[in-house]
Each structure stands twice: as C-alpha cells, then as structure tokens.
Amino acid sequence: MCWKEQGGLAILTFYALLQSNLFDCAWEMLGTVYCAAVQPPKNVIPFFLESIKIRQWLIYISFNF
C-alpha cells in the first residue's frame, strides 16, 4: 500500500493513538468533526443477515445429504 504524505500522516497518527491507548480521548475531541451520517445504497444486503442464511443453508445441507 502507499499513501500520499497527508494520508500516511493520518494513518500513523491513528496507529499511534491506538498503541498509546489515547484513541478514545482523541475521538471525543475529533469525533464531532469527522463523524458523518452515511446511508448505504439500497441494493446492499446486510452481511449479518446474509451470513445467517448461509449458515442455515449449510446446516440444512449437512443434515439432508
């Protein structure tokens, strides 16, 4: 992977905050600036629900074949 200087600095800052256990404190200050409401496209299937269907299908297959 490669980043431009600004993106690399953001990644290193994020990693440093995680490693120093200061992320929660920093997020309290920055979260209001960098948090936004996001709406997924209408054609996206929630993975959690889809994974349940797959798991049920695998159980059905394993007991019926």
Chunked into runs of 10 residues, the chain (65 residues) has average pLDDT values of 81 90 88 79 73 74 69
Within 10 A of 13 (CB to CB), how many other CB atoms are there?
11
The residue range of the domain holding 32 is: 5-64
What is the pLDDT at residue 50?
A: 67
Residue type, 30: L
Number of domains in the chain: 1
What is the pLDDT at residue 19?
A: 92
Q: Tell me which DSSP letter residue 18 carries.
A: H
